[in-house]
Amino acid sequence: MRSSVQVRLHSCIGDLPRPRSKGEYVFVIAQLLFGLMLFAAVLGHVANIVTSVSTARKEFQAKLDGVKTYMRMRRVPTHLQVKVIKWFDYLWLTQKCSDEEKAVSCLPDKLKAEIAINVHLDTLKRSV
């Protein structure tokens, strides 16, 4: 008489003949253990990938927050802030900004120049 576990296993993988010798039992057990280890390894790698992507996103978000704070403290106009934020979104989607680079250095020269003009314009007007 089959147990409920055997019935469930057979319904999942088909109607397989039962092992008859000790060698067949050893083979089935080895196969089961290999399958479990392979599944655990794959699951571990997937979890590792998800964790690393989450960590990279947090680091990237920290850079973006730093740039937002920089722009807010220097009263950069809102339309320019939106441009910079859109640029960072583009960088994240294309993975163009590496970890070693500073957050503002990821910006194209034109956006850096616009920010510099808006930040230092008052100083330049006073000095002239």
Q: What is the dihedral of CA 111, 116, 119, 120, to 10 degrees?
A: -160
Of 48, 29, 51, nearest to 40 (Cα)? 48
Q: What are 22-52's pLDDT values in tens digits?
A: 998 899 899 999 999 999 999 988 888 888 7
Lowest pLDDT segment from 17-21, 96-100, 103-107, 119-123: 96-100
- What sign does the CA torsion over 10, 11, 15, 16 have? negative
For the cut 80, the answer to whether the pLDDT of residue 72 exceeds it is: yes
101 has a pLDDT exceeding 90: no
104 touches 67 (CB < 8 A): yes
Q: How far apart are CA 112 and CA 13, in angstroms?
A: 61
Name the band, by pLDDT with cuts 50, 70 and 90, for residue 97. Answer: low
- Nearest in space to 80 (alpha carbons), one of 105, 122, 103, 113: 113
Give me the pLDDT at residue 36, please: 92
What confidence tens digit (pLDDT) does each residue in 59-68 have? Answer: 888 888 888 8
pLDDT beyond 80 at 17: no
How many C-beta atoms surround the C-beta of residue 88 within 10 A?
20
| Domain definitions of the chain by residue range | 17-127
Tell me the C-alpha distance between 104 and 116, whole Å: 11
- The single-letter code of the amino acid at 111 is L
